[in-house]
A = this chain, B = another copy of it.
Amino acid sequence: MTTIGIIGAGVAGLHLGLHLLQQDLDVTIYTNRTADQVRDGKIMNSVAHMSATIDIERELGIADWPGTDAEYSYHYHYNGWGDDRRFTGKFEEPARILDYRIYLPELMAEFERRGGLLEIRDLSVAEIEQLTEVHDLVVVSTGKGEIGALFPRREEKSPYTSPQRKLAVGFWKGVAPRDPRGVEISVAPPAGELLALPMWSFSGPVHALLFESVPGGPQEALTDRRYEEDPAAYRELTLQMLREFHPSVSERVNEAEFVLQSDARDILQGAVTPVLREDFVLLPNGRYLLALGDVHMTVDPVQAQGANSATYSAKVVADAIREDRVFDERFMRKVARRRAERLEASTDWVNTIIQLPPAPQIPHLFSEMVHNPELANRFTENFNYPIRQIDLLGTPDRVAAAVEATAPATAGASDQ
């Protein structure tokens, strides 16, 4: 019987594991944290699952989350580049944000209930290589440092050598939801962006405030200051940044109730250098390792493409395994080719959005969307469809074409 080993129990590894159990394969996931440790740990992200990802979850039988209320269908924009600043985009189907400390442990349990084997252990590179002698295929879906470095950077798709944003996200109470519910995307050049994300966590509905701060800009203190050193000062700094740069979110805050959901575990700070790595690597023993998820592609979280790309990628890998169980170079190249268009589109899109100074077409696009609901809806819906998104915004000519194709019929008349 074909046996597959998966390194990592993040969303990528768990999705892949569940897909492969549907094919009645023998699957082991290796991870260094138990479900309880994940549940009791720090927040990991604040990522939305787009409806395209929820469709995959439906195939896996993991789309229903009874007792939670975490769906939304709108993006509320505050466009710091223009004079007219506010506009809204609508999804065709709702997205959903669950605290991964709820989501991942439940998937780990479900994986085991369905017959998957979950092994809790740390793995060195040498041990991973040994696993390729045990399993027909080993997929690496996690791993910083030397494990990640097994997969070489694809330089032509990795334009940055340092983070373009410094990140700080906290799960807060006391932010009024938008009605209808939605994510607020506030762009405040040159400070950076703020995403206010309605989500479900242990205490019920909270808002993740994800500050994407330009390095050296006025927002970055939220990443550099340690919350634990002075919680009250960190809270005050957060409120100050909202007031100064993000009025459309600030106006929703009830300061009397503005408080972290629980404690310092509700704060995550850091920064990522975006990178796209090679899909696979040939080991000295003649076996291959296949990369999946963050270890394959790391994107800045500002467009919520990391997890959604990872679940897509897991499905591509699973589909390839369904039709072909000869894990040679041809298999590896097939997987690489099949996921390349969408993954490259994601990474190109996000890398275009975070470019400093801004790529010229991005302020143009945002300022056009203020007056063009069709364009705003398309930009929003395209969070499901990275290929269409980079088609829309990849170059100044492409933004111009999209603007022309969606120009409101009245625009010409009102210009006269």
Residue A121 CB within 8 A of the other chain: no
Interface presence of A55 (CB below 8 A):
no
Q: Is there an interface contact between A338 and B338, defined as CB atoms closer than 8 Å? A: no
What does the 1/0 interface line of A381-396 toward B look like (CB < 8 Å)?
A: 0000001101100110
Output the nearest chain B residue to A390 by Cβ-Cβ distance. Answer: B330
- Whether a CB of chain B sits under 8 angstroms from the CB of A326 is yes
> Which residues on B sit within 8 Å (CB–CB) of A328?
395, 397-398
Is A146 interfacial (CB-CB < 8 Å)? no
Q: Is the CB of A391 within 8 A of B340?
A: no
CB pair B326–A397 under 8 Å, yes or no, is yes
Question: Is A337 touching B330 in the complex (CB atoms < 8 A)?
Answer: no
CA distance A341 to B338 in the complex (A): 8
Q: Which residue of B lies closest to A338 (CB)?
A: B341
**Residue A257 is within 8 A (CB to CB) of chain B in the complex:** no
Contacts of A325 in B (CB 8 A): 401, 405
Q: Does A84 contact B (CB under 8 A)?
A: no
Docked-complex contact B395 and A330, CB < 8 angstroms? yes
With A325-B401, A326-B397, A388-B323 given, is the CB distance from A337 to B340 under 8 Å? yes
User: What chain B residues lie within 8 Å of A341 (beta carbons)?
Assistant: 334, 337-338
- In the assembled complex, which residues on chain B have CB atoms less than 8 Å from the CB atom of A337? 337, 340-341
A324 at the interface (CB under 8 A from B): yes
Residues of B within 8 A of A398 (CB): 326, 328, 330
CB distance from A139 to the nearest CB of B (A): 19
In the complex the two chains form, what is the Cα distance from A338 to B340 in whole Å? 10
What 1/0 mask marks residues of chain A from 304 to 337 whose CB sits below 8 Å from any chain B CB? Answer: 0000000000000000000111101010001001
- Contacting residues of chain A (61-79) with chain B, CB-CB under 8 angstroms: none
Query: Would you give the shortest CB distance from A336 to chain B, in whole angstroms?
Result: 10
Q: Is A401 a contact of B323 with CB atoms below 8 Å?
A: no
- Asked whether B338 lies within 8 Å of A391 as measured between CB atoms, the reply is no
For window 152-166 of A, CB contacts with B under 8 Å fall at: none
Chain B residue numbers with a CB within 8 Å of A334 are: 341, 387
Q: Known contacts A337-B340, A341-B337, A341-B338; decide if A326 and B388 are in contact (CB<8 Å).
A: no
Bound state CA distance, A341 and B394, in angstroms?
24
- In the assembled complex, the Cα of A387 lies from the Cα of B387 at a distance in Å of 23
Task: Give CA–CA (A30, B388) in the complex, Å.
Answer: 31
Nearest CB in chain B: distance from A379 CB, A:
15
Q: B residues within 8 A CB of A340?
A: 337
Q: Which residues of B contact A326 (CB under 8 A)?
A: 391, 397-398, 401
Set B330, B388, B395, B405: member contacting A394, Cβ < 8 A: B330
**Closest-CB distance, A55 to chain B (whole angstroms):** 19
A23 to nearest B CB, angstroms?
14
Nearest opposing residue in chain B for A331, CB measure: B391
What is the CA–CA distance of A272 and B132 in the complex, to the nearest angstrom?
Answer: 44
Q: Indicate which residue in B324, B390, B395 contacts A391 across the interface (CB closer than 8 Å).
A: B324
Are A323 and B395 CB-contacts (below 8 A) given A341-B337, A341-B338? no
Beyond known contacts A326-B398, A330-B398: 9 more, CB 8 A cutoff: A325-B405, A326-B401, A328-B395, A328-B397, A328-B398, A334-B387, A337-B340, A337-B341, A338-B341
9 tightest Cβ-Cβ pairs between the two chains A and B? A324-B391, A326-B401, A326-B398, A337-B341, A330-B394, A326-B397, A328-B397, A323-B388, A337-B340
10 contacts across the A-B interface (CB closer than 8 A) = A323-B391, A324-B391, A326-B391, A326-B398, A328-B395, A328-B397, A328-B398, A334-B341, A337-B341, A338-B341
